[in-house]
């Protein structure tokens, strides 16, 4: 047995107070970070994503493309019938 030790880890043979204290600090740090991330995730559920605003419908996108001249009237009418 190594000198002066009673229980394993205390008294010179194992990680000692410095190693155990570091592990305990790491454990609580991970626990606190996990709690904060969990609370933020729960808080954000059901809320719209930031910066997105209202989503456009397919018909609105088609109308915008026609207005910009990206597609001709025939193509616009054909695609509009497909969407309706």
Question: Read out DSSP for 30-55?
Answer: HHHHHHHHHHHHHHHTTSPPTTT-SP
The predicted model scores a pTM of 0.39
State how many domains the chain has.
1
Find out whether 80 and 62 touch, Cβ atoms under 8 Å.
Answer: yes
Between 10 and 75, the higher pLDDT residue: 75
- Decide if 4 is inside a domain: no
Instruction: Say how many Å lie between the first and final Cα of the chain, rounded.
Output: 84
pLDDT of 32 over the 90 cut: yes
Question: What pLDDT score does 16 carry?
Answer: 59
pLDDT of 20 over the 80 cut: no
In terms of residue numbers, what domain contains 70?
57-84
Between 52 and 83, the higher pLDDT residue: 83
Question: What pLDDT score does 83 carry?
Answer: 86
Handedness of CA 21, 38, 49, 80 (dihedral sign): positive
């Amino acid at each position: 047995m190594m000198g002066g030790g009673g229980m394993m880890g205390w008294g010179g043979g194992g990680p000692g107070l410095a190693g155990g204290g570091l592990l305990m600090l790491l454990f609580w740090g991970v626990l606190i970070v996990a709690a904060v991330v969990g609370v933020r995730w729960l808080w954000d559920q059901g809320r719209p994503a930031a910066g997105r605003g209202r989503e456009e419908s397919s018909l609105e996108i088609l109308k915008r493309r026609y207005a910009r001249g990206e597609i001709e009237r025939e193509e616009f009418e054909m695609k509009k019938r497909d969407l309706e």
